[in-house]
Structure 1
């Protein structure tokens, strides 16, 4: 059965899309191509599209998902240069895609949404926003809101570094005007960004003091180049790219077993752990350094990082790896709790992002004046990240229970957009001003999520960005991408309630 593309009076809903990264662009494209809707507007806080891939331009920045799985399924890219695409290529792909679908005319750049509130009498969302170039404040009424605000957008900068008197910046705000050549540089943090930055600058700097709080599991990065022949075959041989795409997808999908503590999944988990152990043994000969870089938690609890040049970079003579806790800074010096201090010229923070608290209190007000963040905190009542009982017509495209540790998040984004498209079509077919998921459906989903997570590593005693402060898994959906598709392949009207248009 086809999709209903207009209300009975021939009109379409007014839609606001927040964010012009992968999520927001996917929503805009599918609104156009599947429903023929042009009555939407995209709000982007930055001066160009790209989201994470516009903001993060640090040396070595690249995707840790295979390139051909890191593109929209409906808009494949046959010209990736490598198995793992660098930041610039991903950003250029997004720009080409946006131009192809004429999205630039629909995007308000340097525009920040400051407040979003549901008006029950209007059956609409009221969005306050400000033009960051002019300071002009405005308001928009929208029937439907897509939230494409990704979690990797607000840098986390610990207060103890605010007193540093030299050049300091976060990896997501890279200072390209400062020359690191022959400088004494400190890098704080040991996640994916740091693991990409360190090998990219280590040969340039005089010394590199590397501050690691928690060691990461590293697996080899086989970053092969795609030759002209490969690109020709992708483009010209029927189904060749499709088959290749599926092979990459299913090989990544299978690795979900490595995150399970169940007996039947022991072999994949042991293989992955052995690979991480082997690369440490081969690339780090110093036993003391190797011990510093050996994780003490279960594999998969924190994000597994792919890299083949990280360990060799840390073995260089100009690198010092510190595991003592940082207690503060004084002038140009980093102070540690073991009594030592290191004077440096520049400080680079790879300290992550505000993943669990990316929306402030007062930003999102739902039905009945409920402050969604204040009421539900870091345990929002969401139904597959799509909507909730107190937020009608609001679709989270990369929100709670969406992030992944084993495959491409673009698959999750596409599936949630497809589900939202079905919901909007259902609204127009039934002449509804709004739809909201039932509280029962939400609670059933959360209970199922909690139950499924009991057998997964994220529910162990370790701490990671997949969990909130209470140890509850909120930033990761419990199972595989294929399971996610299976559950969301069909829109279930019985799980929603609607209000008729007047």
Structure 2
């Protein structure tokens, strides 16, 4: 079986690619998804309290506004319903294949196409594709902590992204490892039902108030009747969030008002001075992801909660032991320790022109891609939410739409000029990434005094975009063919004149 375009993943990225390809008349595509439904992150993360920390009006497709959001910050199930609804209305679901794993893809240089192996309900099968579009995302593969003895734990243990809803937490002794974006939503919910809750903190995050509000019936009616009102909301929210960019990328002192709000949030939620000191970050605002919650600090201050800041030494069959020798019994262990973001597992399954996998290519110096989307040595491979496209302040949907626009123009250009393949030139890729890393040196993520999941094993930030998102959109507005080596539908390879 041959398809023109194979899309991997059915979250925001994969769905956006499918819809926009269809709009361009590119109907010969297939979307493979390992799970049984669309949704990606919002299908998988069903933990209590799951919600988005970007306002709903911005965390949605610009081409599919939703006047029915219940509040300014939507809960996870509502976002999942939104994604499913967009997919159903798009007319593309007949080309989605669910419960199908993406196992392997190797570039066939003679045929100028990808040879792909997938496994579905009927077993393994092979197919070929002209272009391979990765929409697997950076928050799809949970990372478990490397703690001595954790495999010996006899109670219930699960990652926040693989929540076990069969476990009754009422009255149990629950431990949550981690204080990131998921953990601060989980902790208040656990505190309500647990007999005792231990929260294990390695570093304290900055947490600003969550200025959420419910949309009333009249407001939702107005959003339905006047679509321009929704666009106005979206525009206002977008530019308000872009206001964080100078504080993150130029001068941390610009974040003083937000830092003051975070400090006030601590003071409001916690009375005990010792606990306040434990939850006050030592690094610059924005060095790690800034979180939003009104309930996290009160939950930590509750009588049935203990914040543990001593290093975990080991896990036993029924307890966690910290470096100070204290042993705390545990019935249920919730691991909220994030994902594989700087070494994407899917890259182990993609082999380029040199016979090396993308993972092998990146192990030497870290993830890197031209415009976060294409990689030398991997023709016709397009990554959505690729290296250095992440955001610490705004909606990834904006980035996804920008990348999809670039991919669409690349495909249109290939069609118009009769090209069989496109591959970014090594020099173009090096210039792009050298400029990114130069800019990264002045950002709060590098100079802010923290370690974070933004950084890889080489200490390079291969995750975030160090400029404004409007700059990103402008730089991906059209396919820059002069930065690529191309191959015509014949067998000769040529350089495009600069």
Q: TM-score range by the shorter chain?
A: over 0.9
Q: Which residue of 2 aligns with 1:80?
A: 69
Structure 2 residue 238 is the aligned partner of structure 1 residue 249: yes
Per-residue CA distance 1:471-495 (angstroms, 9 max, x = gap): 1010001111111112122322211
Distance in 1, matches of 2:362 and 2:165, equals: 40
Structure 2 residue 470 is the aligned partner of structure 1 residue 499: no
Aligned with 1:467 (options 436, 455, 462):
455
Aligned with 1:486 (options 466, 474, 477):
474
Q: Which residue of 2 aligns with 1:117?
A: 106
Per-residue CA distance 1:102-154 (angstroms, 9 max, x = gap): 232111111111111111001001111112x45x1111100001100111111
Please state whether the residue corresponding to 1:15 is helix, strand or coil.
strand
Distance in 2, matches of 1:220 and 1:257, equals: 21
Per-residue CA distance 1:211-265 (angstroms, 9 max, x = gap): 1111110000011001111111212125211111100110011111221353xx6
TM-score, length basis structure 2: 0.95
Please state whether the residue corresponding to 1:68 is helix, strand or coil.
coil
Distance in 2, matches of 1:385 and 1:140, equals: 26
Aligned with 2:421 (options 408, 429, 434):
434
Distance in 2, matches of 1:432 and 1:459, equals: 41
Report the more deviating stretch, 448-457 or 424-433. Answer: 448-457
Native 8 Å contact 1:453 1:459 kept in 2: yes
Native 8 Å contact 1:297 1:462 kept in 2: yes
Distance in 1, matches of 2:144 and 2:376, equals: 34
Please state whether the residue corresponding to 2:345 is helix, strand or coil.
coil
Structure 2 residue 110 is the aligned partner of structure 1 residue 128: no
Distance 1:484-1:51 versus aligned 2 partners, 3 A rule: same
Distance in 1, matches of 2:326 and 2:206, equals: 27
Q: Which residue of 1 aligns with 2:494?
A: none
Q: Which residue of 2 aligns with 1:58?
A: 47
Please state whether the residue corresponding to 1:280 is helix, strand or coil.
helix
Distance in 1, matches of 2:151 and 2:295, equals: 31
Distance 1:287-1:326 versus aligned 2 partners, 3 A rule: same
Structure 2 residue 317 is the aligned partner of structure 1 residue 328: no
Native 8 Å contact 1:260 1:269 kept in 2: no
Distance in 1, matches of 2:461 and 2:227, equals: 42
Per-residue CA distance 1:193-216 (angstroms, 9 max, x = gap): 110001112111110011111111
Deviation at 1:173, TM superposition (A): 0.7
Report the more deviating stretch, 119-128 or 253-262. Answer: 253-262
Please state whether the residue corresponding to 1:54 is helix, strand or coil.
helix
Native 8 Å contact 1:370 1:390 kept in 2: no
Per-residue CA distance 1:258-310 (angstroms, 9 max, x = gap): 21353xx63x3111211111111222110111111111112111100000100
Q: Which residue of 2 aligns with 1:7?
A: none
Please state whether the residue corresponding to 2:37 is helix, strand or coil.
coil
Gapped regions of structure 2 (runs ≥ 5)? 491-498
Gapped regions of structure 1 (runs ≥ 5)? 1-11
Distance in 2, matches of 1:212 and 1:379, equals: 28
Aligned with 2:9 (options 12, 16, 19):
19
Native 8 Å contact 1:381 1:389 kept in 2: no
Q: Which residue of 1 aligns with 2:410?
A: 423
Distance in 2, matches of 1:48 and 1:362, equals: 24
Distance in 1, matches of 2:347 and 2:412, equals: 32
Superposition pairs of residues 79-478 of structure 1, within 5 angstroms: 79-131=68-120, 133-134=121-122, 136-160=123-147, 161-237=150-226, 239-262=228-251, 266=253, 268-359=254-345, 362-377=348-363, 379-460=366-447, 461-478=449-466
Native 8 Å contact 2:131 2:381 kept in 1: yes
TM-score, length basis structure 1: 0.94
Please state whether the residue corresponding to 1:459 is helix, strand or coil.
helix
Distance in 2, matches of 1:231 and 1:119, equals: 52
Superposition RMSD in Å: 1.4
| Misfit runs of 4+, over 3 Å | none
Distance in 2, matches of 1:321 and 1:174, equals: 22
Per-residue CA distance 1:372-420 (angstroms, 9 max, x = gap): 2112226234111211111111110011111100110100000000000
Native 8 Å contact 1:209 1:321 kept in 2: yes
Deviation at 1:361, TM superposition (A): 6.5
Please state whether the residue corresponding to 2:194 is helix, strand or coil.
coil
Deviation at 1:360, TM superposition (A): 5.8
Native 8 Å contact 1:258 1:272 kept in 2: no
Structure 2 residue 22 is the aligned partner of structure 1 residue 32: yes
Distance 1:381-1:349 versus aligned 2 partners, 3 A rule: closer
Q: Which residue of 1 aligns with 2:496?
A: none
Distance in 2, matches of 1:275 and 1:88, equals: 29
